[in-house]
Amino acid sequence: MESGSDASTMLEDSGLRPTEVRRRVLSSLLGAACALSHREIVDLLAGLDRVTVYRNLKLLKEAGLVHGVHGIDGSLRYIVNPAGRKGCPGGHPHFLCLECGTMSCLVGQELPRVSVPRSAEVRGKQFLAYGLCAACARSKRVHPARPPRRGATG
């Protein structure tokens, strides 16, 4: 099944009308190998303005079809939730590659337990590990950065 029809089915199952824009936004996330930022999605979807994409991402998030994770740069990246689950499965960290920018869920690993003050109300939690993904780390080993030459300026 192609991601366009997958997106239509997911939208209908969540009670959302499968408009062309919603299908395109959700399909872009379904076809991605990693989480995408708002800007990356806008760049992928020629002809859609950034406000339209933002509003539809917000709607998809509220419907439990995607979840967002803040990177160390503060930008929110969106990931499709696992099939049959409303909302992020939760309780797992994410990994961000500092070289290529890919972000992925580390499902199966639990977040550390955090105690909050009595009567406090937790509205969310996030744990982000960052470094180099396997491909970028492998690339760095094959082509290590050269140290600057002695006496070189710049």
Between 6 and 149, residue with greater pLDDT = 6
pLDDT at position 35, please?
Answer: 86
Q: Each residue of 131-151: pLDDT tens digit?
A: 999 999 998 876 555 555 555
pLDDT band at 8 (very low <50, low <70, confident <90, very high): very high
**How many structural domains compose the chain?**
1
| Confidence (pTM) | 0.71
- Does any domain span residue 23? yes
CATH of the domain at 55: 1.10.10.10
**CB 103 within 8 Å of CB 56:** no
- Does any domain span residue 147? no
Side-chain-side CA neighbours of 105 within 13 Å: the count stands at 16
pLDDT at position 152, please?
Answer: 47
- Does any domain span residue 51? yes
pLDDT at position 52, please?
Answer: 97
The domain of 53 spans 3-115+123-142
- Does any domain span residue 153? no
pLDDT band at 20 (very low <50, low <70, confident <90, very high): very high
Does residue 98 register a pLDDT over 80? yes
- Does any domain span residue 150? no
- Does any domain span residue 8? yes
Q: How many CB atoms lie within 10 A of CB 35?
A: 24
- Does any domain span residue 100? yes
- Does any domain span residue 88? yes
Q: Each residue of 48-95: pLDDT tens digit?
A: 999 999 999 999 999 989 988 888 888 889 988 876 555 566 678 889
